[in-house]
């Protein structure tokens, strides 16, 4: 076998034997294909490993429990032997949260995916952690319901992964983030104890909110009760143009503080407005060629050349017209769905007109809706061409939003080409979703160890600059991607003395330190 | 005890003996930190009281942390909708400051409105209130919590984050057991005139179901008053939000039919009975109380798709009888404090051992 | 960069967007069996895939649902068939594939039963049958038709009226290419197709004995060279030895055969046509209002789109139009049409990973059962996997020419 596919070691084979004895035939494997497939998630830095043909962190064994009881048995087994257990949903995380850096047992939870129990009158659904997001929406749709949770990874992520990393969907303004939807949890802690919170008013600190977002370091989430709603039957979409991104931020704030609940409220900075070809009324503006290569991943040679001087690329951006596009959408259900969505939309239009917005009609919004998951497909051509692309989603209050935007752009500009949109807005603030495109090195297939080292160095420099600037500007490190391996060195700047609270939680829920070790600095 | 008193006095706090315990009044957040470190170092039980909170005794052999001096409102930003406030500040004072900046905390349970910010956040409601979309979330954007060694843990003031577990939840709803809330960034709504409407329902359970239905349709009112009037139930509701109030009211009218030709404002704002109890409950539990033969009045707050905070009254009957009628599966009695239900605990969720380890790891053990 | 390399890289760096669409990935929960895993392993294993990688290459039914959710329209089955050939060359292929190759080379098909004998018997029956169709019984019940069925019928009528007649002049008699799945099941549906076509006024002949199997299973078993030879042989059997053969009109029972013949065989003579039996019959019925307007059977049907028909041949209308004419109500499962879920019967999965194929079939059966009507499909392979009836058999019952017990 060539390349990164490696056979199991004696430890892996012993674990496979024991775990098969524990759970039955077919529940464990240390086949090279399985070990390789579980050796990384979708952290872009790990894609650089793949590009260079290496897989530095395979687990020793993969196990597929089919129930919370089986998860508990595996965890107890691992706790007795002090073997690492790394929970794994669908591996779409972008922070290395599921990379088994200490080897051990990769705990694939996708067999926990029995049919969801949908109770639409109670606005609740009980669903197992391994359930795929799109499959869940298909099944909910069959019952006239929706979760309203539509991350761009919905096709390739699980309910457990959403909860573990505090996922946000594209319609979060209306439906909330996943932590806003969770009513109760079932989880297995690091001692193999099964915890079941209750969907009733409870005493003491909220156990649910202490486990949600713990990225597999405190407990293995096995089941959740989530809020669901009747499926919307009408949508009203609009594009609006602001003279500047700052005017757009002010408009977005006015909209969110009005009490209206748009399903879609996405503000694009001038570059994102232009490059994504959303029109925005600026179709007549010629986008300089190098910028097009960057976004489309085309012209591999020219793209790599352009990315050698990201500062120049970013200056090209500064010379572009400054208008900013806001995509707005409202949903309705029930007998008055269309008129309700329209009524709210028109109220929002009036309010935003007062903030200086120009109405571009429904086309930009509808175009976005039709292509809303396309972003997730864009990284392959770029990596293939020798670039890296990554996204940094930070959040802060309205008063600090523009300084945050400026500081991160300025800090990242020497390292990568950068654009941004504002896609999760709240009463008090908003997240910013920065996209970086940088030079990874040789195109895939021509990459080697030296190339990997340089690519990693460029990638790390870009991130260090971006996260430092975000921390200095008072923002939170992550709005919905999580921490994983990737951002953990910055975690003390986020939590300060709170790190000791975090470690106390670790001691409480995983006293043997076996759950996803090496993440969140735990 | 004298050594302890000396240690506490050295923190800069005023210390007086009270019953079998001590009353400790730190003048600042820093002094609070030092006082907590001393108390935790001695494994003493601690209670916390701020401005507006009902008088409480110091726990026997322990200390009452009196946060009345920690009442500063450092900033109120009405445009962003946030305020920085110390835990001892009364909710009423914060609301007054917020109003001056064109903002509000929104409708809150009477017991919450009467107490301190710290008690609100550390108490059984965890600082929760209704937000648009028939949901509930905590008003604490970020919490400054004093740990057992006196150091201050402060989370980032961001509307949401994904940086691990929400550490604020070690303090929220924790009654100061794990850590003591010293200050917080609190979320504010824009202040705007509410919209009102009232309907008649055959009886109180039907009235509760009307409101539940509105919540299920995302038309959750901000406040509700349900009471018996001339042999039927009066359902008086209000909605808030500068653009949303009228819209939600009109859609509720569309859903429930033509409202009564009365000014519902005074009905909604009418003070709750002094013989009432407050619960955090699911709709079924609220409807069950409404079906009690003596049920006279239900004031609703924090309404969401699954339930609400409710102030329940049996009219002339006493608080104890009212509490008896309010207790049901899915309901947790939260006020008055002396009748408060423990509610399902971590132990009942299978997390009893984890709780024990957490208390130890946080250095929050108490001498038995 | 070759197209193949490009396609491999597009998968390699993708966050597995199509994973939920893959029946094998969903049924097994194995990352290595997601389209991303399988294609990545093909890219990484290079010329020397081990047995675990080879098994991953085999973990595909060729259903093409992944392509529906791929912005790059990657053809995963095609990438994996190439990888399977690599595994065969490396000696790491599952044993079942070698067995397919062995049978194909000795028997001309890969089935365990004597499908040649079945075809021969049917050919004899056809030869002895009278030229005129037998009178058919008319169902007595005239229940009300559902709105859905009526609407489908109207659409189907309008669409098919625009199409060419079922039998094209100058092409010779259309021939039914029965295919090994239908023959291995005993040939009932083969006989019924011939009978239905006769009633519909568009009689079908049978392909000669040498044309038993399209050979697709050889591609699926990682033997492209053997497939090429097999396809040339069968093509010769169909066309004869003439230097300038006449065009042929082939009607297949299995949609996979139609696509394999169209896309993988050496080109047939200009003017030839290869189509699925439902396309053929719906056109024939459109031209026969007297037959089409018979009262439907008093029953409902839950229609399962065969992947090869819905996505491979993009034929969604014809089977629905036929069913809408034959039964009172056509119901659709949750995943239907171009987004239909797979039954697990293809891509040699039942031979490579039989338990997985069975689990996929069970999942789809349950989804169809939730429609509350018997399952009907339009492919002998799917019908066998799901225990469903073929559309052709439903038509045969409707027209009173059903074959109860194959001789």
Instruction: Quote the pLDDT of residue C147.
Output: 42
> What span, in angstroms and rounded, lies between the C-alpha atoms of C202 and C176?
12
Q: pLDDT at position A291, please?
A: 73
User: CA–CA separation, C3 vs C5, rounded Å?
Assistant: 6
Asked whether residue C346 carries a pLDDT value surpassing 90, the answer given is yes
Burial class (CB in 10 A: 0-12, 13-18, 19+), A54: middle
Q: Count of CB atoms within 10 A of residue B59's CB?
A: 17
Q: How far away is chain C from the Cα of A162, in angstroms, using its nearest Cα?
A: 15
- ipTM greater than 0.95: yes
**A351/B contact by beta carbon, under 8 A:** yes
Cα–Cα distance measured from residue B140 to residue B121, given in angstroms and rounded to the nearest whole number = 7
* CB of C101 closer than 8 Å to CB of C221: yes
Phi-psi region of C255 (alpha: psi -120 to 50; beta: other; left: phi over 0): alpha
C-alpha–C-alpha distance, residues A166 and A261, integer Å: 21
CA distance C110 to chain A (A): 29
**Per-residue model confidence (pLDDT) at position C204:** 95
How far is the C-alpha of B320 from the C-alpha of B312, rounded, in Å?
Answer: 12
Of A4, A135, A381, the CB nearest to C20: A135
CB contact under 8 A, A376 and C41: no
Interface chains of chain A (3 or more CB pairs under 8 Å): B, C
DSSP code at position B55: P
pLDDT in tens, chain A (522 residues): 345 678 889 999 999 999 999 999 999 999 999 999 999 999 999 999 998 889 999 999 999 999 999 999 999 999 999 999 999 999 999 999 999 999 999 999 999 999 999 999 999 999 999 999 999 999 999 999 999 999 999 999 999 999 999 999 999 999 999 999 999 999 999 999 999 999 999 989 999 999 999 999 999 999 999 999 999 999 999 999 999 999 999 999 999 999 999 999 999 998 888 766 544 444 455 667 777 777 666 677 778 888 888 888 888 877 777 889 999 999 999 999 999 999 999 999 999 999 999 999 999 999 989 888 887 888 888 888 888 999 999 999 999 999 999 999 999 999 999 999 999 999 999 999 999 999 988 776 676 778 889 999 999 999 999 999 999 999 999 999 999 999 999 999 999 999 999 999 999 999 999 999 999 999
Task: Tell me which chain B residue has its CA closest to the CA of residue A194.
Answer: B350
A403 close contact with B: CB closer than 8 A? no
Q: What is the mean pLDDT of chain C?
A: 89
Tokens of B184: 């917080």
Cβ contacts below 8 Å, chain A against chain B, sum to: 281
Nearest-Cα residue of chain B relative to residue A503: B361
**pLDDT tens-digit profile of C202-212?**
999 999 988 99
Residues C53-91: pLDDT tens digits? Answer: 999 999 999 999 999 999 999 999 999 999 999 999 999
Q: How confident is the model at residue C243 (pLDDT cuts 50, 70, 90)?
A: confident
Please report which confidence band the pLDDT of residue B83 belongs to, taking 50, 70 and 90 as the band edges. Answer: very high
Higher pLDDT, A175 or C160: A175
Query: With an 8 Å Cβ cutoff, are C50 and A32 in contact?
Result: yes
Distance, in Å, from the CA atom of B183 to the CA atom of B169, rounded to the nearest integer, reads: 14
Pairwise CA distance, residues B48 & B66, whole Å? 6
Which of C26, C45, C56 has the CB atom closest to A3's CB atom? C45
8 Å CB contact between A369 and A330:
no
Instruction: Give the one of B162, B177, B348 whose C-beta lies nearest to A165's C-beta.
Output: B162
**Closest Cα in chain A, distance from residue C335 (Å):** 8
As a whole-number percent, the residues of chain C with pLDDT over 90 amount to 79
Which pLDDT belongs to residue C169? 54
Of A194, A196, A213, the CB nearest to B166: A213
Q: How close does chain B come to A275, measured CA to CA in Å? A: 28
Do the chains contact at A476 and B282, CB–CB below 8 Å?
no
Q: Are A30 and A61 in contact (CB under 8 A)?
A: yes
Measured between alpha carbons, how far is A419 from A433 in angstroms, rounded to an integer?
Answer: 8
Beta strand residue intervals within B78-177, DSSP E: 82-86, 103-104, 128-131, 135-138, 140-146, 152-154
Best of A200, A393, A482, A518 to disrupt the B interface (most B CBs within 10 Å) is A200
Please give the pLDDT value at position A285.
Answer: 56
Our CA dihedral for A223, A224, A229, A231, rounded to 10 degrees, sits at -30
CA A315 to chain B, closest CA, distance in angstroms equals 30
Give the pTM: 0.94
Do A479 and B247 count as a contact with CB atoms less than 8 A apart? no
Query: Chain B contact for A188, CB < 8 A?
Result: no
Contact list in B for residue A511 (CB cut-off 8 A) is: 357
* Predicted confidence (pLDDT) per residue in C130-142, tens digit: 544 444 444 333 3
Partner residue facing A5 (CB), from C1, C13, C45:
C45
In this complex, is the C-beta atom of A445 within 8 Å of any C-beta atom belonging to chain B?
Answer: no
B chain contacts of residue A396, beta-carbon cutoff 8 Å: 156-158
Q: Which residues in chain B have their CB less than 8 angstroms from residue A210's CB?
A: 165-166, 169-170
CA distance A522 to A512: 11
Q: Say whether the B–C interface has 3 or more Cβ pairs within 8 Å.
A: no
Using a CB-CB cut-off of 8 Å, the residues of chain B touching A197 are 349
A468 touching C (Cβ < 8 Å): no
Chain B residues within 8 A of A196 when measuring between CB atoms: 349-350
Q: Check pLDDT > 70 for residue B86.
A: yes
More confident residue, C166 or C292: C292
- With contact defined as beta carbons under 8 Å apart, do C60 and C80 qualify? yes
| A-C Cβ pairs (cutoff 8 Å, strict) | 136
- Which of A201, A203, A259 lies closest to B243 in CB terms? A259
Q: What is the pLDDT of residue C240?
A: 85
First to last CA, chain B: 16
B145-154, B266-275, B354-363, C366-375: range with lowest mean pLDDT: B266-275
The answer, for A225 touching chain B at a CB cutoff of 8 Å, is: no
């Amino acid at each position: 076998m060539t390349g990164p596919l490696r056979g199991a070691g004696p430890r892996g084979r012993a674990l496979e034997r024991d775990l098969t004895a524990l759970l039955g035939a077919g529940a464990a494997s240390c086949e090279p294909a399985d070990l390789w497939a579980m050796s990384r998630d979708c952290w872009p830095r790990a894609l650089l490993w793949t590009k260079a043909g290496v897989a530095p962190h395979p687990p020793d064994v993969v196990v597929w429990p089919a129930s919370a009881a089986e998860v508990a048995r595996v965890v107890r087994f691992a706790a007795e032997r002090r073997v690492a257990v790394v929970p794994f949903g669908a591996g779409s995380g972008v922070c290395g949260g599921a990379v088994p850096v200490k080897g051990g047992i990769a705990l694939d939870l996708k067999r926990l995916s029995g049919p969801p129990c949908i109770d639409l009158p109670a606005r609740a659904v009980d669903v197992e952690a391994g359930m795929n997001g799109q499959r869940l929406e298909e099944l909910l749709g069959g019952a006239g319901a929706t979760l309203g949770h539509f991350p761009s990874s919905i096709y390739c992520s699980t309910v457990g992964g959403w909860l573990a990393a505090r996922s946000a969907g594209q319609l979060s303004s209306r439906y909330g983030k996943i932590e806003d939807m969770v009513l109760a949890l079932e989880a297995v802690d690091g001692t193999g104890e099964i915890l079941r919170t209750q969907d009733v008013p409870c005493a003491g600190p909220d156990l649910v909110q202490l486990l949600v977002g713990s990225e597999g370091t405190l407990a293995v989430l096995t089941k959740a009760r989530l809020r669901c709603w009747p499926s919307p039957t009408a949508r009203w979409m609009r594009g609006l143009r602001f003279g500047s991104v700052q005017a757009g931020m002010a408009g977005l704030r006015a909209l969110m503080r009005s009490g209206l609940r748009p399903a879609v409220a996405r503000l694009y900075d001038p570059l994102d407005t232009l490059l994504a070809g959303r029109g925005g009324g600026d179709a007549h503006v010629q986008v300089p060629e190098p910028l097009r290569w960057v976004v489309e991943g085309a012209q591999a040679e020219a793209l790599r050349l352009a990315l050698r001087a990201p500062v120049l690329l970013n200056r090209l951006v500064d010379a572009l017209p400054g208008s900013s596009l806001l995509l707005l959408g409202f949903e309705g259900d029930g007998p008055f769905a269309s008129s309700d969505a329209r009524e709210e939309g028109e109220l929002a239009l009036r309010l935003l007109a007062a903030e200086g917005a120009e109405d571009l009609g429904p086309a930009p919004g509808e175009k976005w809706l039709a292509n809303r998951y396309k972003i997730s497909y864009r990284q392959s051509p770029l990596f293939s061409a020798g670039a890296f692309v990554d996204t940094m989603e930070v959040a802060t209050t309205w008063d600090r939003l523009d300084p945050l935007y400026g500081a991160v752009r300025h800090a990242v500009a020497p390292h990568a080409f950068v654009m941004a949109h504002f896609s999760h807005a709240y009463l008090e603030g908003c997240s910013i979703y920065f996209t970086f495109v940088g030079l990874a090195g040789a195109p895939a297939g021509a990459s080697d160890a030296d190339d990997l080292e340089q690519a990693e160095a460029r990638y790390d420099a870009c991130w260090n600059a971006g996260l430092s600037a975000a921390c200095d500007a008072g923002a939170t490190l992550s709005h919905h991607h999580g921490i994983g391996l990737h951002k953990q060195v910055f975690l003390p700047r986020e939590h300060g003395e709170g790190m000791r609270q975090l470690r106390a939680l670790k001691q409480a829920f995983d006293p043997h330190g076996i759950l996803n070790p090496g993440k969140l600095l735990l | 005890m004298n050594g302890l008193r000396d240690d506490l006095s050295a923190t800069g706090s005023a210390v007086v003996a009270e019953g079998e315990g001590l009353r400790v009044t730190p003048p600042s957040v820093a002094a609070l930190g030092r006082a907590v470190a001393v108390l935790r170092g001695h494994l003493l039980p601690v209670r916390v009281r701020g401005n507006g909170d009902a008088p409480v005794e110091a726990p026997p052999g322990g200390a009452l942390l009196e946060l009345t001096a920690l009442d500063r409102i450092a900033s109120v930003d009405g445009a962003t909708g946030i305020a920085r406030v110390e835990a001892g500040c009364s909710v009423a004072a914060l609301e007054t400051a917020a109003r001056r900046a064109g903002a509000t905390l929104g409708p809150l349970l009477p017991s919450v409105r009467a107490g301190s910010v710290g008690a609100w956040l550390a108490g059984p409601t965890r600082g929760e209130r209704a937000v648009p979309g028939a949901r509930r979330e905590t008003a604490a954007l970020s919490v400054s919590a004093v740990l057992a060694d006196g150091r201050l843990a402060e989370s980032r003031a961001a509307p949401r984050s994904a940086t691990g577990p929400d550490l604020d939840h070690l303090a929220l709803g924790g009654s100061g057991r794990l850590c003591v809330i010293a200050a917080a960034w609190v979320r504010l709504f824009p202040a705007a005139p509410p919209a009102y409407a009232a309907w008649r329902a055959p009886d109180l359970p039907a009235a509760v179901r009307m409101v539940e239905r509105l919540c299920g349709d995302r038309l959750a009112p901000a406040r509700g008053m349900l009471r018996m009037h001339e042999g039927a139930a009066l359902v008086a509701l209000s909605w808030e939000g500068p653009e949303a109030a009228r819209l939600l009211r009109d859609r509720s009218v569309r859903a429930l039919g033509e409202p009564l030709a009365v000014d519902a404002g005074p009905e909604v704002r009418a003070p709750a009975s002094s013989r009432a109890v407050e619960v955090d409950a699911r709709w079924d539990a609220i409807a069950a109380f409404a079906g009690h033969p003596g049920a006279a009045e239900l004031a609703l707050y924090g309404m969401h798709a699954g339930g609400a905070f409710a102030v329940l009254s049996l009219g002339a009957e006493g608080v104890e009888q009212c509490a008896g009628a309010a207790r049901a599966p899915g309901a947790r009695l939260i006020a008055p404090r002396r009748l408060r239900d423990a509610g399902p605990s971590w132990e009942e969720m299978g997390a009893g051992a984890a709780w024990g380890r957490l208390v130890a790891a946080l250095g929050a053990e108490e001498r038995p | 960069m070759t197209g193949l390399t490009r396609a491999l890289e597009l998968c390699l760096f993708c966050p597995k967007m199509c994973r939920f669409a893959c029946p094998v990935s969903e049924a097994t929960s194995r990352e290595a069996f997601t389209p991303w895993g399988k294609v990545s392993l093909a890219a990484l294993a290079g010329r020397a895939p081990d047995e675990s990688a080879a098994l991953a290459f085999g973990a595909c039914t060729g259903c093409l649902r992944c392509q529906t959710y791929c912005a790059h329209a990657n053809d995963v089955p095609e990438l994996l068939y190439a990888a399977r050939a690599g595994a065969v060359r490396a000696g790491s292929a599952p044993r079942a594939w070698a067995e397919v190759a062995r049978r194909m080379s000795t028997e001309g098909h890969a089935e365990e039963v004597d499908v040649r004998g079945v075809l021969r018997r049917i050919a004899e029956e056809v030869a002895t049958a009278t030229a005129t169709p037998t009178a058919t019984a008319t169902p007595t019940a005239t229940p009300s038709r559902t709105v859905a069925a009526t609407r489908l019928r109207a659409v189907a009528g309008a669409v098919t009226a625009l199409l060419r007649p079922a039998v094209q002049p100058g092409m010779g008699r259309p021939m039914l290419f029965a295919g090994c799945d239908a023959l291995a099941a005993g040939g009932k549906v083969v006989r019924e197709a011939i009978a239905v076509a006769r009633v519909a006024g568009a009689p079908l002949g049978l392909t000669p004995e040498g044309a038993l199997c399209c050979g697709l299973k050889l591609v699926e078993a990682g033997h492209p060279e053997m497939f090429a030879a097999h396809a040339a042989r069968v093509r010769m059997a169909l066309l004869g030895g003439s230097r300038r053969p006449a065009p042929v009109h082939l009607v297949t029972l299995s949609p996979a055969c139609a696509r394999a013949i169209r896309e993988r065989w050496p080109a047939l003579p200009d003017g030839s046509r290869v189509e699925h039996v439902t396309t053929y019959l719906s056109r024939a019925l459109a031209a026969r209002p007297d037959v089409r307007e018979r009262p439907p059977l008093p029953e409902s049907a839950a229609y399962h789109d065969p992947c090869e028909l819905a996505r491979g041949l993009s034929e969604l209308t014809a089977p629905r139009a036929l069913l809408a004419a034959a039964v009172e109500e056509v119901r659709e499962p949750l995943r239907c049409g171009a987004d239909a879920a797979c039954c697990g019967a293809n891509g040699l999965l039942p031979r490579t990973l039989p338990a997985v194929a069975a689990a996929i079939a069970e999942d789809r059966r349950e989804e169809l059962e939730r429609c509350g009507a018997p399952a009907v499909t339009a492919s002998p392979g799917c019908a066998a996997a799901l225990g469903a009836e073929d559309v052709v058999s439903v038509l045969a019952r409707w027209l009173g020419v059903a074959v109860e017990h194959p001789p």
